[in-house]
Protein backbone atom coordinates (compact mmCIF):
# COMPACT_ATOMS: atom_id res chain seq x y z
CA UNK A 1 0.00 0.00 0.00
CA UNK A 2 2.50 2.53 1.12
CA UNK A 3 5.05 0.89 -1.05
CA UNK A 4 2.95 1.40 -4.04
CA UNK A 5 2.41 4.95 -3.07
CA UNK A 6 6.04 5.54 -2.64
CA UNK A 7 6.90 3.83 -5.81
CA UNK A 8 4.30 5.88 -7.40
CA UNK A 9 5.94 8.95 -6.04
CA UNK A 10 9.28 7.85 -7.14
CA UNK A 11 8.07 7.08 -10.55
CA UNK A 12 6.42 10.38 -10.85
CA UNK A 13 9.39 12.13 -9.60
CA UNK A 14 11.45 10.51 -12.21
CA UNK A 15 8.99 10.91 -14.94
CA UNK A 16 8.64 14.57 -14.28
CA UNK A 17 5.89 16.83 -13.26
CA UNK A 18 3.66 16.27 -16.16
CA UNK A 19 1.57 13.85 -14.32
CA UNK A 20 -1.20 15.87 -12.94
CA UNK A 21 -2.28 13.18 -10.63
CA UNK A 22 -1.37 14.10 -7.18
CA UNK A 23 1.35 12.06 -5.76
CA UNK A 24 2.48 11.65 -2.28
CA UNK A 25 5.82 12.82 -1.27
CA UNK A 26 8.13 10.23 -0.03
CA UNK A 27 8.70 10.01 3.67
CA UNK A 28 12.14 11.29 3.08
CA UNK A 29 10.81 14.27 1.29
CA UNK A 30 8.22 14.90 3.88
CA UNK A 31 10.72 14.57 6.61
CA UNK A 32 13.08 16.92 4.96
CA UNK A 33 10.34 19.35 4.33
CA UNK A 34 9.20 19.13 7.86
CA UNK A 35 12.64 19.60 9.10
CA UNK A 36 13.05 22.58 7.00
CA UNK A 37 9.70 23.85 7.93
CA UNK A 38 10.59 23.63 11.54
CA UNK A 39 13.50 25.83 10.84
CA UNK A 40 11.88 28.15 8.44
CA UNK A 41 8.25 28.46 8.04
CA UNK A 42 8.69 31.06 5.42
CA UNK A 43 11.58 30.01 3.29
CA UNK A 44 12.88 32.29 0.71
CA UNK A 45 12.67 31.46 -2.89
CA UNK A 46 16.26 30.44 -2.82
CA UNK A 47 15.60 28.14 0.01
CA UNK A 48 12.68 26.67 -1.77
CA UNK A 49 14.63 26.15 -4.90
CA UNK A 50 17.45 24.61 -3.04
CA UNK A 51 15.17 22.41 -1.11
CA UNK A 52 13.27 21.49 -4.19
CA UNK A 53 16.47 20.55 -5.86
CA UNK A 54 17.53 18.49 -2.96
CA UNK A 55 14.27 16.69 -2.76
CA UNK A 56 13.64 16.31 -6.39
CA UNK A 57 10.62 18.48 -6.28
CA UNK A 58 9.71 21.61 -8.03
CA UNK A 59 9.88 24.92 -6.36
CA UNK A 60 6.20 25.15 -6.86
CA UNK A 61 5.65 21.97 -5.03
CA UNK A 62 7.81 23.12 -2.23
CA UNK A 63 6.05 26.40 -2.03
CA UNK A 64 2.75 24.72 -2.08
CA UNK A 65 3.81 22.31 0.53
CA UNK A 66 4.94 25.06 2.81
CA UNK A 67 1.79 26.90 2.21
CA UNK A 68 -0.31 23.95 3.08
CA UNK A 69 1.87 23.13 5.96
CA UNK A 70 1.33 26.53 7.41
CA UNK A 71 -2.32 26.14 6.90
CA UNK A 72 -2.22 22.88 8.64
CA UNK A 73 -0.41 24.37 11.54
CA UNK A 74 -2.88 27.08 11.66
CA UNK A 75 -5.71 24.70 11.63
CA UNK A 76 -4.19 22.65 14.36
CA UNK A 77 -3.55 25.70 16.38
CA UNK A 78 -7.06 26.70 15.89
CA UNK A 79 -8.31 23.40 17.08
CA UNK A 80 -6.04 23.41 20.01
CA UNK A 81 -6.87 26.93 20.85
CA UNK A 82 -10.46 26.02 20.68
CA UNK A 83 -9.94 23.07 22.90
CA UNK A 84 -7.94 25.19 25.23
CA UNK A 85 -10.60 27.80 25.12
CA UNK A 86 -13.07 25.26 26.27
CA UNK A 87 -10.85 24.51 29.14
CA UNK A 88 -10.45 28.07 30.04
CA UNK A 89 -14.09 28.72 29.79
CA UNK A 90 -14.77 25.87 32.04
CA UNK A 91 -13.15 27.34 35.06
CA UNK A 92 -14.05 30.38 36.94
CA UNK A 93 -11.27 32.86 37.18
CA UNK A 94 -9.66 31.69 34.07
CA UNK A 95 -12.88 31.99 32.34
CA UNK A 96 -13.30 35.49 33.43
CA UNK A 97 -9.96 36.44 32.18
CA UNK A 98 -10.08 34.33 29.17
CA UNK A 99 -13.45 35.27 27.98
CA UNK A 100 -13.47 38.04 25.54
CA UNK A 101 -9.96 37.49 24.53
CA UNK A 102 -11.13 36.49 21.22
CA UNK A 103 -12.46 39.96 20.79
CA UNK A 104 -9.22 41.45 21.73
CA UNK A 105 -8.56 44.48 19.70
CA UNK A 106 -5.30 43.36 18.28
CA UNK A 107 -5.20 41.52 15.05
CA UNK A 108 -6.87 41.62 11.79
CA UNK A 109 -10.33 40.51 11.08
CA UNK A 110 -9.28 38.44 8.22
CA UNK A 111 -7.70 35.86 10.37
CA UNK A 112 -8.78 34.28 13.48
CA UNK A 113 -7.14 32.93 16.55
CA UNK A 114 -3.46 33.13 16.35
CA UNK A 115 -3.70 34.96 13.13
CA UNK A 116 -4.00 37.94 15.28
CA UNK A 117 -0.34 38.04 14.77
CA UNK A 118 1.49 38.08 11.61
CA UNK A 119 2.81 34.59 11.62
CA UNK A 120 6.02 35.76 10.17
CA UNK A 121 6.32 38.19 12.91
CA UNK A 122 5.55 35.54 15.36
CA UNK A 123 8.06 33.28 13.90
CA UNK A 124 10.77 35.80 13.65
CA UNK A 125 10.32 36.87 17.17
CA UNK A 126 10.06 33.46 18.51
CA UNK A 127 6.82 34.18 20.12
CA UNK A 128 5.42 30.82 19.57
CA UNK A 129 7.08 29.23 22.42
CA UNK A 130 6.91 31.93 24.94
CA UNK A 131 3.91 33.99 24.64
CA UNK A 132 1.28 31.81 23.30
CA UNK A 133 -1.31 29.92 25.06
CA UNK A 134 -0.85 26.43 26.16
CA UNK A 135 -2.18 25.28 22.90
CA UNK A 136 0.36 27.36 21.22
CA UNK A 137 2.97 26.11 23.49
CA UNK A 138 1.98 22.68 22.68
CA UNK A 139 2.19 23.54 19.14
CA UNK A 140 5.56 24.96 19.65
CA UNK A 141 6.72 21.93 21.37
CA UNK A 142 5.61 19.90 18.58
CA UNK A 143 7.11 21.93 15.93
CA UNK A 144 10.13 23.61 17.13
CA UNK A 145 11.05 22.50 20.51
CA UNK A 146 10.26 19.01 19.71
CA UNK A 147 12.38 18.68 16.74
CA UNK A 148 15.10 21.02 17.56
CA UNK A 149 15.64 20.24 21.09
CA UNK A 150 14.70 16.73 21.51
CA UNK A 151 15.65 16.12 18.00
CA UNK A 152 12.58 14.18 17.49
CA UNK A 153 11.86 15.06 14.12
CA UNK A 154 8.85 13.51 12.89
CA UNK A 155 8.47 11.47 10.03
CA UNK A 156 5.92 13.77 9.08
CA UNK A 157 5.16 16.76 10.87
CA UNK A 158 2.20 15.13 12.24
CA UNK A 159 3.78 12.02 13.17
CA UNK A 160 6.30 13.61 15.31
CA UNK A 161 3.99 16.33 16.07
CA UNK A 162 1.24 14.22 17.16
CA UNK A 163 3.48 12.06 19.10
CA UNK A 164 5.04 14.96 20.71
CA UNK A 165 1.74 16.35 21.24
CA UNK A 166 0.73 13.31 23.04
CA UNK A 167 3.84 13.30 25.03
CA UNK A 168 3.38 16.75 26.19
CA UNK A 169 -0.24 16.49 26.54
CA UNK A 170 -0.05 13.92 29.16
CA UNK A 171 3.48 13.37 30.03
CA UNK A 172 4.97 16.72 29.68
CA UNK A 173 2.19 18.98 29.68
CA UNK A 174 3.46 22.28 28.52
CA UNK A 175 1.64 23.81 31.36
CA UNK A 176 3.51 21.70 33.64
CA UNK A 177 6.66 22.19 31.81
CA UNK A 178 6.64 25.87 31.60
CA UNK A 179 5.90 26.60 35.18
CA UNK A 180 8.60 24.26 36.14
CA UNK A 181 10.89 26.15 33.94
CA UNK A 182 10.02 29.31 35.57
CA UNK A 183 9.95 28.19 39.06
CA UNK A 184 12.49 29.86 41.12
CA UNK A 185 14.27 27.97 43.80
CA UNK A 186 11.66 29.28 46.11
CA UNK A 187 9.09 27.85 43.83
CA UNK A 188 7.64 31.19 43.40
CA UNK A 189 6.63 32.30 40.06
CA UNK A 190 9.23 34.37 38.36
CA UNK A 191 8.17 37.17 36.14
CA UNK A 192 5.83 36.30 33.46
CA UNK A 193 7.36 35.07 30.30
CA UNK A 194 10.84 35.45 31.50
CA UNK A 195 12.32 34.13 28.37
CA UNK A 196 10.43 36.36 26.14
CA UNK A 197 11.25 39.20 28.38
CA UNK A 198 14.91 38.57 28.13
CA UNK A 199 15.29 36.66 25.03
CA UNK A 200 14.19 38.92 22.31
CA UNK A 201 13.45 41.96 24.28
CA UNK A 202 9.99 41.46 23.18
CA UNK A 203 7.12 42.22 25.38
CA UNK A 204 3.83 40.87 24.38
CA UNK A 205 0.98 43.14 24.13
CA UNK A 206 -2.69 42.89 23.63
CA UNK A 207 -3.96 39.49 22.97
CA UNK A 208 -0.69 37.78 23.42
CA UNK A 209 -0.07 39.46 26.64
CA UNK A 210 -3.35 38.39 28.05
CA UNK A 211 -2.84 34.94 26.77
CA UNK A 212 0.46 34.86 28.48
CA UNK A 213 -1.21 35.95 31.61
CA UNK A 214 -3.64 33.17 31.29
CA UNK A 215 -0.80 30.80 30.91
CA UNK A 216 0.78 32.10 34.02
CA UNK A 217 -2.43 32.00 35.91
CA UNK A 218 -3.09 28.52 34.81
CA UNK A 219 0.38 27.57 35.75
CA UNK A 220 -0.08 28.88 39.22
CA UNK A 221 -3.41 27.24 39.40
CA UNK A 222 -1.84 24.02 38.46
CA UNK A 223 0.86 24.36 40.99
CA UNK A 224 -1.48 25.26 43.69
CA UNK A 225 -3.38 22.21 42.80
CA UNK A 226 -6.17 21.45 45.09
CA UNK A 227 -5.25 24.38 47.16
CA UNK A 228 -6.57 26.46 44.42
CA UNK A 229 -10.06 27.60 45.02
CA UNK A 230 -12.19 29.21 42.55
CA UNK A 231 -13.91 31.14 45.22
CA UNK A 232 -10.61 32.39 46.44
CA UNK A 233 -9.09 35.65 45.51
CA UNK A 234 -8.50 35.99 41.85
CA UNK A 235 -5.08 35.24 40.69
CA UNK A 236 -3.48 38.33 39.50
CA UNK A 237 -0.86 38.55 36.90
CA UNK A 238 1.50 40.17 39.28
CA UNK A 239 1.56 37.17 41.45
CA UNK A 240 1.98 37.53 45.07
CA UNK A 241 4.42 35.10 46.52
CA UNK A 242 2.81 31.83 47.05
CA UNK A 243 2.10 30.96 50.62
CA UNK A 244 4.92 29.05 52.20
CA UNK A 245 2.99 25.84 52.36
CA UNK A 246 1.45 26.13 49.00
CA UNK A 247 3.47 23.29 47.63
CA UNK A 248 3.80 21.34 50.74
CA UNK A 249 0.77 19.29 50.56
CA UNK A 250 1.66 16.50 52.82
CA UNK A 251 0.62 13.74 50.59
CA UNK A 252 1.09 14.79 47.08
CA UNK A 253 3.01 17.19 45.10
CA UNK A 254 1.43 19.45 42.65
CA UNK A 255 2.27 17.13 39.89
CA UNK A 256 -0.13 14.66 41.22
CA UNK A 257 -2.75 17.09 41.94
CA UNK A 258 -5.95 16.44 40.23
CA UNK A 259 -5.60 19.66 38.50
CA UNK A 260 -2.67 18.38 36.68
CA UNK A 261 -4.75 16.05 34.73
CA UNK A 262 -6.71 18.93 33.55
CA UNK A 263 -4.36 19.42 30.79
CA UNK A 264 -5.66 22.33 28.88
CA UNK A 265 -3.94 21.16 25.81
CA UNK A 266 -5.88 18.03 25.66
CA UNK A 267 -8.99 18.39 23.74
CA UNK A 268 -11.65 17.70 26.17
CA UNK A 269 -14.13 16.66 23.69
CA UNK A 270 -13.96 13.97 21.15
CA UNK A 271 -15.19 16.28 18.53
CA UNK A 272 -12.09 18.28 18.97
CA UNK A 273 -9.84 15.88 17.44
CA UNK A 274 -6.57 17.32 16.37
CA UNK A 275 -4.99 14.64 18.36
CA UNK A 276 -6.94 12.04 16.62
CA UNK A 277 -6.13 13.51 13.35
CA UNK A 278 -2.56 13.58 14.23
CA UNK A 279 -2.68 10.12 15.46
CA UNK A 280 -3.89 9.10 12.17
CA UNK A 281 -1.32 11.12 10.47
CA UNK A 282 1.43 9.93 12.57
CA UNK A 283 0.58 6.39 12.09
CA UNK A 284 0.45 7.05 8.51
CA UNK A 285 4.05 7.86 8.49
CA UNK A 286 4.79 5.38 11.10
CA UNK A 287 3.75 2.95 8.57
CA UNK A 288 5.90 4.61 6.08
CA UNK A 289 8.79 4.43 8.32
CA UNK A 290 8.30 0.88 9.06
CA UNK A 291 8.14 0.04 5.49
CA UNK A 292 10.79 1.99 3.84
CA UNK A 293 11.52 0.72 0.52
CA UNK A 294 15.11 0.36 -0.44
CA UNK A 295 14.54 3.13 -2.88
CA UNK A 296 13.51 5.43 -0.17
CA UNK A 297 16.30 4.50 2.02
CA UNK A 298 18.65 4.96 -0.75
CA UNK A 299 17.16 8.19 -1.63
CA UNK A 300 17.30 9.57 1.79
CA UNK A 301 20.86 8.70 2.05
CA UNK A 302 21.78 9.84 -1.34
CA UNK A 303 19.66 12.83 -1.87
CA UNK A 304 18.74 14.10 1.46
CA UNK A 305 20.91 15.73 3.87
CA UNK A 306 20.14 16.21 7.40
CA UNK A 307 18.83 19.57 8.20
CA UNK A 308 20.23 19.46 11.58
CA UNK A 309 23.02 21.65 10.60
CA UNK A 310 20.85 23.90 8.79
CA UNK A 311 21.34 26.97 10.64
CA UNK A 312 18.84 29.54 9.87
CA UNK A 313 16.68 29.92 12.81
CA UNK A 314 19.01 32.21 14.58
CA UNK A 315 19.00 34.61 11.79
CA UNK A 316 15.37 34.14 11.43
CA UNK A 317 14.70 35.08 14.93
CA UNK A 318 16.53 38.26 14.43
CA UNK A 319 15.40 39.15 11.08
CA UNK A 320 12.46 41.24 10.50
CA UNK A 321 9.69 39.91 8.49
CA UNK A 322 10.98 41.30 5.33
CA UNK A 323 14.50 40.40 5.98
CA UNK A 324 14.20 36.82 5.31
CA UNK A 325 17.07 34.53 5.67
CA UNK A 326 18.88 33.58 2.62
CA UNK A 327 21.27 30.96 1.65
CA UNK A 328 24.07 33.37 1.37
CA UNK A 329 25.73 32.27 4.46
CA UNK A 330 25.11 28.68 3.66
CA UNK A 331 26.13 27.54 0.31
CA UNK A 332 24.42 24.32 0.91
CA UNK A 333 21.09 24.37 2.54
CA UNK A 334 21.59 20.82 3.47
CA UNK A 335 24.98 21.00 4.92
CA UNK A 336 26.92 18.14 6.07
CA UNK A 337 24.96 15.77 4.02
CA UNK A 338 25.26 13.43 6.78
CA UNK A 339 23.18 10.46 6.61
CA UNK A 340 19.72 11.63 6.70
CA UNK A 341 18.86 8.63 8.61
CA UNK A 342 18.73 10.68 11.66
CA UNK A 343 15.69 12.15 10.19
CA UNK A 344 14.10 8.85 10.31
CA UNK A 345 15.61 7.88 13.48
CA UNK A 346 14.10 10.81 15.06
CA UNK A 347 10.83 10.36 13.54
CA UNK A 348 10.63 6.70 13.75
CA UNK A 349 12.00 6.49 17.13
CA UNK A 350 9.51 8.88 18.37
CA UNK A 351 6.79 7.46 16.36
CA UNK A 352 7.33 4.04 17.65
CA UNK A 353 6.69 4.80 21.20
CA UNK A 354 3.15 5.71 21.59
CA UNK A 355 -0.03 4.10 22.23
CA UNK A 356 -2.08 5.22 19.42
CA UNK A 357 -4.17 2.58 18.01
CA UNK A 358 -2.25 2.58 14.86
CA UNK A 359 0.97 2.44 16.62
CA UNK A 360 -0.21 -0.62 18.27
CA UNK A 361 -0.79 -1.94 14.95
CA UNK A 362 2.62 -1.01 13.88
CA UNK A 363 4.11 -2.70 16.84
CA UNK A 364 2.22 -5.76 15.99
CA UNK A 365 3.73 -5.67 12.59
CA UNK A 366 7.11 -5.75 14.07
CA UNK A 367 6.39 -8.34 16.56
CA UNK A 368 8.29 -8.03 19.72
CA UNK A 369 10.85 -5.79 18.29
CA UNK A 370 8.75 -2.82 18.86
CA UNK A 371 8.53 -3.71 22.46
CA UNK A 372 12.14 -4.00 23.10
CA UNK A 373 13.64 -1.58 25.40
CA UNK A 374 17.09 -2.82 25.74
CA UNK A 375 19.23 -0.79 23.49
CA UNK A 376 19.61 2.19 21.38
CA UNK A 377 19.31 0.04 18.39
CA UNK A 378 15.68 0.20 18.83
CA UNK A 379 15.66 2.67 16.12
CA UNK A 380 16.50 0.11 13.67
CA UNK A 381 13.85 -2.10 14.99
CA UNK A 382 11.38 -0.05 13.25
CA UNK A 383 13.15 -0.42 10.03
CA UNK A 384 13.12 -4.08 10.36
CA UNK A 385 16.82 -4.14 10.16
CA UNK A 386 17.03 -2.49 6.84
CA UNK A 387 19.14 0.35 7.93
CA UNK A 388 21.57 -1.13 10.26
CA UNK A 389 24.63 0.41 8.75
CA UNK A 390 23.20 3.79 8.44
CA UNK A 391 21.70 3.43 11.79
CA UNK A 392 25.02 2.72 13.26
CA UNK A 393 26.59 5.54 11.43
CA UNK A 394 24.00 7.90 12.50
CA UNK A 395 24.17 6.81 16.04
CA UNK A 396 27.86 7.00 16.13
CA UNK A 397 27.68 10.35 14.64
CA UNK A 398 25.31 11.36 17.26
CA UNK A 399 27.64 10.24 19.90
CA UNK A 400 30.55 11.88 18.32
CA UNK A 401 29.01 15.21 18.34
CA UNK A 402 27.06 14.88 21.40
CA UNK A 403 26.87 17.51 23.94
CA UNK A 404 27.88 16.19 27.33
CA UNK A 405 24.64 17.34 28.62
CA UNK A 406 22.90 15.20 26.17
CA UNK A 407 25.10 12.34 26.97
CA UNK A 408 24.18 12.70 30.51
CA UNK A 409 20.61 12.78 29.71
CA UNK A 410 20.88 9.87 27.44
CA UNK A 411 22.58 7.86 30.07
CA UNK A 412 20.02 8.83 32.50
CA UNK A 413 17.35 7.84 30.19
CA UNK A 414 18.89 4.54 29.63
CA UNK A 415 19.56 3.86 33.21
CA UNK A 416 16.40 5.07 34.65
CA UNK A 417 13.83 2.39 34.93
CA UNK A 418 10.52 3.28 33.68
CA UNK A 419 7.78 3.44 36.16
CA UNK A 420 5.19 3.22 33.59
CA UNK A 421 3.16 0.19 33.10
CA UNK A 422 3.72 0.79 29.49
CA UNK A 423 7.25 0.26 30.34
CA UNK A 424 8.50 -1.55 27.32
CA UNK A 425 7.15 0.97 25.05
CA UNK A 426 7.99 3.82 27.22
CA UNK A 427 11.47 2.75 27.58
CA UNK A 428 11.91 2.60 23.90
CA UNK A 429 10.44 5.94 23.69
CA UNK A 430 12.75 7.36 26.20
CA UNK A 431 15.81 5.95 24.70
CA UNK A 432 14.86 6.95 21.31
CA UNK A 433 14.11 10.32 22.56
CA UNK A 434 17.46 10.65 24.02
CA UNK A 435 19.11 9.39 20.96
CA UNK A 436 17.06 11.56 18.84
CA UNK A 437 18.20 14.44 20.83
CA UNK A 438 21.70 13.44 20.33
CA UNK A 439 21.51 12.89 16.69
CA UNK A 440 19.56 15.95 16.10
CA UNK A 441 21.31 18.31 18.37
CA UNK A 442 24.79 17.20 17.94
CA UNK A 443 25.40 18.75 14.60
CA UNK A 444 23.78 21.89 15.72
CA UNK A 445 26.21 22.45 18.42
CA UNK A 446 28.65 23.99 16.09
CA UNK A 447 26.39 26.76 15.28
CA UNK A 448 23.04 28.03 15.97
CA UNK A 449 24.03 28.75 19.47
CA UNK A 450 21.63 31.41 20.13
CA UNK A 451 18.69 29.52 18.95
CA UNK A 452 19.55 26.81 21.30
CA UNK A 453 19.60 29.01 24.28
CA UNK A 454 15.93 28.97 24.63
CA UNK A 455 15.85 25.34 23.84
CA UNK A 456 18.36 24.66 26.46
CA UNK A 457 16.07 26.20 28.89
CA UNK A 458 13.53 23.71 27.94
CA UNK A 459 16.17 21.10 27.99
CA UNK A 460 16.98 21.90 31.50
CA UNK A 461 13.42 21.64 32.32
CA UNK A 462 13.33 18.23 30.95
CA UNK A 463 16.34 17.37 32.92
CA UNK A 464 14.67 18.13 36.12
CA UNK A 465 14.38 15.06 38.22
CA UNK A 466 10.68 15.08 38.26
CA UNK A 467 10.38 15.62 34.64
CA UNK A 468 12.90 13.48 33.03
CA UNK A 469 11.81 10.79 30.78
CA UNK A 470 11.01 8.25 33.34
CA UNK A 471 9.34 10.70 35.55
CA UNK A 472 7.49 11.96 32.65
CA UNK A 473 5.80 8.70 32.32
CA UNK A 474 4.97 8.70 35.92
CA UNK A 475 3.43 11.98 35.39
CA UNK A 476 1.51 10.58 32.58
CA UNK A 477 0.07 7.76 34.44
CA UNK A 478 -0.38 8.87 37.91
CA UNK A 479 -2.72 11.65 37.31
CA UNK A 480 -4.81 9.29 35.37
CA UNK A 481 -4.81 6.86 38.13
CA UNK A 482 -5.55 9.59 40.45
CA UNK A 483 -8.49 10.51 38.46
CA UNK A 484 -9.64 7.02 38.27
CA UNK A 485 -9.88 7.00 41.95
CA UNK A 486 -11.61 10.22 42.24
CA UNK A 487 -13.24 11.21 39.10
CA UNK A 488 -16.72 9.97 38.54
CA UNK A 489 -15.81 8.43 35.29
CA UNK A 490 -16.96 4.94 35.63
CA UNK A 491 -15.08 2.20 34.00
CA UNK A 492 -12.10 4.27 33.30
CA UNK A 493 -9.18 2.05 33.55
CA UNK A 494 -6.07 3.17 35.22
CA UNK A 495 -3.77 2.93 32.32
CA UNK A 496 -5.75 3.58 29.34
CA UNK A 497 -3.67 4.60 26.51
CA UNK A 498 -3.47 8.19 25.73
CA UNK A 499 -6.06 8.06 23.18
CA UNK A 500 -8.46 6.56 25.57
CA UNK A 501 -7.60 9.16 28.06
CA UNK A 502 -8.35 11.77 25.56
CA UNK A 503 -11.62 10.23 24.83
CA UNK A 504 -12.91 10.53 28.27
CA UNK A 505 -16.45 11.72 28.45
CA UNK A 506 -16.72 15.20 27.28
CA UNK A 507 -19.77 16.18 29.17
CA UNK A 508 -17.40 18.11 31.27
CA UNK A 509 -13.92 19.12 30.60
CA UNK A 510 -10.95 17.60 32.21
CA UNK A 511 -10.49 20.80 33.95
CA UNK A 512 -13.86 20.38 35.41
CA UNK A 513 -13.09 16.84 36.19
CA UNK A 514 -10.09 17.87 38.10
CA UNK A 515 -11.86 20.57 39.88
CA UNK A 516 -14.71 18.35 40.68
CA UNK A 517 -12.28 16.01 42.21
CA UNK A 518 -10.74 18.82 44.10
CA UNK A 519 -13.99 20.03 45.38
CA UNK A 520 -14.95 16.56 46.36
CA UNK A 521 -11.87 16.41 48.37
Partner DNA sequence: TTGTGTTTTATTGCCTCC
Partner DNA sequence: GGAGGCAATAAAACACAA
Binder to DNA among 10, 63, 336, 500 (CB under 7 A)? 63
Tell me the C-alpha distance between 169 and 503, whole Å. Answer: 13
| All residues at 6 or more sequence positions from 60 whose CB lies less than 8 Å from its CB, including other chains | none
Span from 39-47, 187-195, 432-440, 494-502 in contact with DNA (CB under 7 A): 39-47
The answer to whether 315 contacts DNA (rule: CB under 7 A) is no
Tell me the C-alpha distance between 196 and 238, whole Å. Answer: 16
The answer to whether 71 contacts DNA (rule: CB under 7 A) is yes
The answer to whether 2 contacts DNA (rule: CB under 7 A) is yes
Binder to DNA among 10, 11, 16, 20 (CB under 7 A)? 20
Q: Which of residues 319-378 bind DNA (CB under 7 A)?
A: 322, 357-358, 361
Q: Is the dihedral of CA 381, 385, 387, 390 positive or negative?
A: positive
Binder to DNA among 8, 187, 366, 372 (CB under 7 A)? 8
- Binding mask 104-123 toward DNA (x if CB under 7 A, else -) reads ------xx---x---x----
Beta strands in 436-511, from DSSP E residues, in sequence order = none
Binder to DNA among 14, 22, 105, 231 (CB under 7 A)? 22
Task: State the Cα angle at 452 between 449 and 453, rounded to 5°.
Answer: 95
Span from 14-22, 190-198, 220-228, 385-393 in contact with DNA (CB under 7 A): 14-22
Q: In terms of CB distance, is 281 or 480 closer to DNA?
A: 281
Give CA separation, 407 vs 177, 435, 444, in Å. 21, 9, 15
In whole angstroms, the minimum distance from the beta carbon of 265 to DNA comes to 16
Q: In terms of CB distance, is 226 or 499 closer to DNA?
A: 499
DSSP 240-282: PPPPTTTT--SS--GGGSHHHH--TTS-SSTT--HHHHHHHHH
Among 36, 10, 41, 35, residue whose Cα is nearest residue 24 = 10
Can you say how many angstroms the Cα of residue 456 is from the centroid of all Cα atoms in its chain?
A: 15
Q: Which of residues 73-92 bind DNA (CB under 7 A)?
A: 74
Q: How many residues bind DNA (CB under 7 A)?
A: 48
Binder to DNA among 15, 67, 96, 302 (CB under 7 A)? 67
Binder to DNA among 53, 70, 392, 447 (CB under 7 A)? 70
Task: State the Cα angle at 403 between 419 and 410, rounded to 5°.
Answer: 15
Binder to DNA among 11, 45, 121, 388 (CB under 7 A)? 45
Tell me the C-alpha distance between 495 and 489, whole Å. Answer: 14
In whole angstroms, the minimum distance from the beta carbon of 339 to DNA comes to 22
The answer to whether 138 contacts DNA (rule: CB under 7 A) is no
Q: Which long-range contacts (CB under 8 A, 24 or more apart) does 463-468 make?
A: 463/405, 463/408, 463/409, 463/412, 464/180, 466/180, 466/253, 466/255, 467/172, 467/176, 467/177, 467/180, 468/409, 468/412, 468/413, 468/416
The answer to whether 292 contacts DNA (rule: CB under 7 A) is no
Span from 66-74, 365-373, 421-429, 435-443 in contact with DNA (CB under 7 A): 66-74
Q: What is the DSSP letter of 169?
A: I
Binding residues vs DNA (CB under 7 A) = 1-2, 4-6, 8, 20-25, 30, 42-43, 45, 60-61, 63-68, 70-72, 74, 110-111, 115, 119, 156-158, 273, 276-278, 280-281, 283-284, 287, 322, 357-358, 361
Amino acid sequence: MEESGELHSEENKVSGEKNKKRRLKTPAQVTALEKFYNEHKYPTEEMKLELAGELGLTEKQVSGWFCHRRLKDKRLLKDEAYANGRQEHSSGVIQDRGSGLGQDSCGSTKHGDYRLLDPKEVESRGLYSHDFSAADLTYEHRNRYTENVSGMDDTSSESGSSLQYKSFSQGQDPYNLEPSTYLTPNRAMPPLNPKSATNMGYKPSGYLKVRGEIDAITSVKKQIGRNYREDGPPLSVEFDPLPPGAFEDGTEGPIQEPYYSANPTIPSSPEISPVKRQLSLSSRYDSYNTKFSPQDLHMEGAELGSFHDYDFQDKRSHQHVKQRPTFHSHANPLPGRKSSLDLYEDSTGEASAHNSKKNHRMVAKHGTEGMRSDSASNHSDHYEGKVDVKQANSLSHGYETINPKNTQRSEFVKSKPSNSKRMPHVSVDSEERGLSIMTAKGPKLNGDQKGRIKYQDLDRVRMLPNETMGGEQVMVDEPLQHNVKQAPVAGMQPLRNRRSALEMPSSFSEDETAETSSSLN
